[in-house]
């Protein structure tokens, strides 16, 4: 009689669910209760465990990919093009390294602004004369000869207007919205370009 009671108590303890089994059966996670079933392990339990692990792996992979995309701070730029029937004449700015014309330079210009134009150094000497062309160097040597030279008053405004480029001499043709345009009164101080062509809708300007 004692042996039967002992066997019965041992069998009931084996059938008693563990804490994992109780948690799995109480959980709402689909498939978890089949991974920790009551009773002995089976092939069904292994299949459910493999499926659950695969799903968790895919979830982790997709979450990591989305997190990396979020940390890349993506943005979308939306541009709307609006066609206008009439346009305001655009402001055209021409920039060039050759800001001043060399031919109208005088000895007084070189004396006062030679260092500004990088033609002379602080001692009024020609820096690196071996880099200049022969004709240009000869002209520069003649104009930069300040022996017994007495400088005259110098006006930077007059110098810029005289030595700067004139748009009237540069612009060959300008047409905007079917109307031919010419250079305005304030057209000095423009850099020199050999050929410059801008096309903007009906705006065409050719410079030489």
* pLDDT-derived band at 8, boundaries 50, 70, 90: very low
pLDDT at 29: 73
Q: How far apart are CA 27 and CA 41, in angstroms?
A: 19
pLDDT at 19: 72
Which residues are within 8 A (CB) of 89 and not within 5 positions of it... i.e. 6 or more apart?
176, 181, 203
In this predicted structure, the answer to whether residue 173 has a pLDDT above a threshold of 70 is: yes
* pLDDT-derived band at 65, boundaries 50, 70, 90: very high
**Which pair of tokens denotes residue 9?**
């108590």
Return phi, psi of residue 101, to 5°. Answer: -85, 140
The gap between the terminal CA atoms of the chain, to the nearest Å, is 122
pLDDT at 112: 92
Q: How far apart are CA 163 and CA 143, in angstroms?
A: 15
- pTM as predicted: 0.42
Q: How far apart are CA 193 and CA 207, in angstroms?
A: 7
The string of pLDDT tens digits covering residues 175-196 is 777 777 776 654 443 333 333 3
The string of pLDDT tens digits covering residues 100-151 is 888 889 999 999 998 888 889 988 888 888 888 888 889 889 998 898 889 9
Q: Which long-range contacts (CB under 8 A, 24 or more apart) does 145-152 make?
A: 145/107, 146/107, 146/111, 149/107, 149/111, 151/108, 151/111, 151/112, 152/108
Which residues are within 8 A (CB) of 196 and not within 5 positions of it... i.e. 6 or more apart?
94, 205, 206, 207, 208
In this predicted structure, the answer to whether residue 13 has a pLDDT above a threshold of 80 is: no
Contact 5, 22 (CB under 8 A): no
Locate tokens 């010419």: which residue?
A: 182
In this predicted structure, the answer to whether residue 40 has a pLDDT above a threshold of 90 is: no
pLDDT at 68: 93
With a pLDDT cut of 90, the percent of the chain lying above it is: 14
């Amino acid at each position: 009689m004692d042996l039967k009671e002992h066997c019965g108590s041992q069998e009931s303890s084996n059938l008693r669910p563990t804490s994992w089994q109780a948690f799995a059966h109480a959980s709402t996670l689909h498939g978890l209760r089949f991974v920790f079933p009551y009773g002995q392990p089976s092939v069904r339990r292994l299949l459910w465990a493999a499926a659950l692990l695969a799903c968790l792996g895919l979830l982790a992979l997709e979450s990591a990919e989305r997190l990396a995309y979020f940390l890349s701070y993506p943005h979308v730029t939306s541009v709307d093009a609006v066609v206008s029937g009439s346009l305001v004449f655009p402001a055209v700015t021409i920039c060039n390294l050759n800001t001043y014309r060399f031919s109208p330079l005088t000895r007084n210009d070189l004396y006062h602004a030679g260092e500004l134009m990088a033609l002379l150094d602080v001692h009024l000497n020609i820096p690196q004369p071996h880099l200049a062309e022969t004709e240009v160097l000869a002209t520069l040597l003649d104009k930069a000869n300040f022996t017994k030279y007495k400088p005259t008053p110098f006006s930077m405004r007059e110098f810029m207007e005289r030595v700067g480029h004139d748009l009237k001499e540069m612009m060959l043709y300008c047409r905007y919205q079917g109307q031919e345009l010419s250079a305005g009164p304030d057209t000095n101080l423009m850099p020199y370009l050999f050929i410059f062509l801008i096309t903007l809708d009906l705006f065409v300007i050719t410079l030489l």
